[in-house]
């Protein structure tokens, strides 16, 4: 008797018993008669539209919240640095700020970026920025070691 109750169900529209498709057991609520199939489509469409309206309301609230946040935090995503006529963004802009590269002239900055780009064989700003950062740290280590040698009198 259990197998019959599990494999059959009463149609939500006409009330007739019908065999449940085992692939969609939990979702199968209507029989296959054309009238019931149409009611099933209308019902599911109404359910979908109701959820979609709720999503749109939530989406509008998200849009307003985001717009308000952006108004109160101007320039948050515009992390850029200007070197002469060049505007540098992203990771490279952070390196420029960290190491005062903005004091360079246009041609000096172009030379540094071009040289690092050539040595790394990459034109990606993130790659150039991390390599400049690495080279600056290495330069500081060399200068510190040279100063220590001078202080000891071995220079």
Position 44 scores a pLDDT of: 92
Residue 5 pLDDT class (50, 70, 90 cuts): very low
Would you call 88 helix, strand, or coil by DSSP? strand
Average pLDDT, the chain: 79
Q: CA–CA separation, 116 vs 64, rounded Å? A: 43
Backbone angles phi, psi at 15, to 5 degrees: 85, 0
Residue with tokens 């071995």: 154
Structure confidence by residue, pLDDT tens digits, 49-84: 999 888 888 888 888 888 888 888 776 665 566 656
Q: CA–CA separation, 41 vs 53, rounded Å? A: 18
Non-local CB neighbours of 116 within 8 Å, separated by 6+ positions: 128, 131, 132, 135
Q: CA–CA separation, 68 vs 73, rounded Å? A: 9
- Give the pair of three-digit tokens for residue 103: 């004091």
Residue 12: pLDDT over 80: yes
- Give the pair of three-digit tokens for residue 154: 């071995």
């Amino acid at each position: 008797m259990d197998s019959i109750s599990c494999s059959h169900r009463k149609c939500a529209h006409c009330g007739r018993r019908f065999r449940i498709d085992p692939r969609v057991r939990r979702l199968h609520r209507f029989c296959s008669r054309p009238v019931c199939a149409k009611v099933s489509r209308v019902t599911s469409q109404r359910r979908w539209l109701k959820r979609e309206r709720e999503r749109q309301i939530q989406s509008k609230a998200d849009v307003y919240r985001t717009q308000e946040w952006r108004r109160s935090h101007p320039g948050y995503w515009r992390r850029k640095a200007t070197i002469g006529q060049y505007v540098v963004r992203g990771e490279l802009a952070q390196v420029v700020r960290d190491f005062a590269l903005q004091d360079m002239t246009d041609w000096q900055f172009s030379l540094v970026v071009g040289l690092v780009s050539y040595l790394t064989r990459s034109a990606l700003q993130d790659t150039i920025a991390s390599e400049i950062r690495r080279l600056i740290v290495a330069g500081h280590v060399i200068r510190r070691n040279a100063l220590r040698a001078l202080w000891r009198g071995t220079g």
